[in-house]
Chains A and B, each alone.
Chain A
């Protein structure tokens, strides 16, 4: 019962902005969008989350469409260390059950 749809893989040139899309057309009003990433053989790392407004932190920006049915994670200046699997997750705030799909494998090309 997948709540999000992400492309399986993407490439991005080093130094360019990486834009990772996520579709969540069945999102409900009290559900947040979370992004995590997992570098090979490590535990996932939290990146950012948002409800309906665009969000920015030191790692990335999150752009959520007005109808909230899709979002884009932006890594503004991708480096080789950003090569990882990126997971888009939709969940109620305070809901312990985060469902990690298969994510997008982002490869940064030198």
Chain B
């Protein structure tokens, strides 16, 4: 049963603490992505990775860090430098190989609340 898993679904942290969000996929996809969504807004790209050991900044990378040591895993760390970390975080992956198209498959998301 292939898919993308994110854990936990809800996460609470105190201000000033770093927190790592998990994202795992068993779809054998090369590309993985992290998005952030604020209430009533669309998704904004934080980081993406096309291949193991390589990743690029998205539109709002400041205050975040990622790693891609394995094809299946793309964890996101929300650091204390992120000014407004409370948000809904979505991980996605894609095969990124023509001509299948550019379908991104999304996980269920992690809702992070920092107080």
Contacts and interface: CB of A to CB of B under 8 A. Distances in A.
Interface of A: 32, 34, 36, 41-46, 49, 87, 91, 93-103
| Majority-rule SS of B interface residues | strand
Given A87-B42, A102-B40, A41 B109 contact: yes
A94 B98 CA distance: 8
Contacts of B108: 42-43
17 contacts: A36-B104, A42-B106, A43-B109, A44-B106, A46-B105, A49-B102, A93-B98, A94-B98, A96-B33, A96-B48, A96-B50, A97-B45, A97-B48, A98-B102, A100-B44, A101-B42, A102-B41
Contacts of A46: 103-105
Interface in B95-115: 96, 98, 101-109, 111
A46 B100 CA distance: 13
Contacts of A101: 42
